[in-house]
Homo-oligomer: A and B are copies of this chain.
Amino acid sequence: MPKIRAAVAGANGYAGMTAVSLLAAHPDVELVQLTSRSLAGKPYQEVFPLLEVRGRFSDEIEPNGVDVIFSCLPHAAGAARTAQWFQAGARVIDMSADYRLKDAAAYPRWYGQEHPAPELLEKAVLGLPELHTEEIKQAQLIAVPGCYSTASILALAPAVHGGLIAADVVVDAKSGVSGAGRSPGLGSHFAEAGEAVSAYALNGHRHLPEITQELAGVAPDAVAPRLTFVPHLVPMVRGILATCYFDSKASAPELTEAYREFYAGQPSTQLVPTTPSTKLAGRTNLCLLNLAAQDGKTVVTAALDNLVKGASGQGVECFNIAFGLDRRAGLELPNQWP
């Protein structure tokens, strides 16, 4: 069988680099183009000295003959190109936020501008395989959700789906600094972020509407629970831990059963018996979930690697589904402890 011809746009950021590294080892993929605006003309080896992928970064994807484009461009930058890529026949796995929200009217509040291509929103499928496997199979445009969103949605979906949340939910999330991307800034400067923990985006983070949209989608009454989401920056390179608090209408065993059923047969989401360290999920495509309780309050912890299950690993998982491959192809990444 001929290999699937894949291109990565924005291959010089962390999501892009992770996509390249996974696709280069994927048995069914041939990497045919990598783009990077800042590195156009330079050999791939400058960014990937250990990979056998040879060639030079281009400025733009040349979509003819490309089967699938992993778009890891900054928000809004990719949206301007998507229509052209479709015309050339490529399917698109988009790692940006451009197509995650169904409602074009929501973009200005969260992204500070009108949506650049609202007509494409209805084509987009959210790339969260645990919720949208069937839609992903047919999708031309897959919008991989944010790292915080993936952890939070997976931590809460079974409870919401079962109508088991009594009142509101607090999600206190902690992320490694690679979540801020590869563009330098004071917040991700080593001496500022090292030896420090801080909260941010207290009045509302961009991943919040993704979370509530998806939870509403699984809720019996199509309404998400009231949800407070506060992200924190933690001095580690990788990993997200979402600690979720709510009062449950169900007993602990019933709740556990609801989660087991919801994720039965799902290869990338796994219940674990003790609250997981982010280290255990590190560099794997797994989201690890634990259910606990404290004096009647349910506490669900979700751990994942923000660049793998929280970004490009999940992108590859969607790609596998969309192209009819084994969902775990190229993703059997063992955790190497510590």
Contact = CB atoms under 8 A, between A and B. Distances in A.
A254 B300 CA distance: 33
Interface stretch (A64-72, A95-103, A113-121, A191-199): A191-199
B297 A338 contact: no
Contact of A194 (B18, B177, B243): B177
A336 to B, nearest CB: 5
A198 B302 CA distance: 10
Number of identical protomers: 4
Nearest to A286: B50
A198 B189 CA distance: 17
A196 B277 CA distance: 6
A245 B22 CA distance: 37
Interface range for A: 35 or more
Contacts of A82: none
A60 to B, nearest CB: 23
A239 interface: yes
Given A232-B243, A299-B228, A197 B178 contact: no
A264 interface: no
Given A228-B245, A232-B174, A237-B190, A50 B280 contact: yes
A317 to B, nearest CB: 16
A167 B296 CA distance: 14
Contacts of A232: 174, 241, 243
A184 to B, nearest CB: 4
Given A196-B278, A230-B299, A278-B196, A202 B292 contact: yes
Nearest to A241: B197
A198 B294 contact: no
Interface string A223-263: 00010111010111111010101000000000000000000
Contacts of A335: 21, 50
Given A235-B234, A237-B190, A184 B182 contact: no
Instruction: Return the 4 tightest CB-CB contacts between A and B, nearest first.
Output: A184-B184, A172-B172, A196-B279, A177-B190
9 contacts: A24-B334, A170-B170, A176-B197, A191-B338, A195-B236, A196-B282, A198-B278, A234-B235, A283-B283
Interface of A: 14, 17-18, 21-22, 24-25, 49-51, 167-168, 170, 172, 174, 176-178, 180, 182, 184-186, 188-200, 202-204, 226, 228-230, 232, 234-239, 241, 243, 245, 270, 272-273, 275-280, 282-284, 286, 292-295, 297, 299, 301, 303, 307-308, 332-338
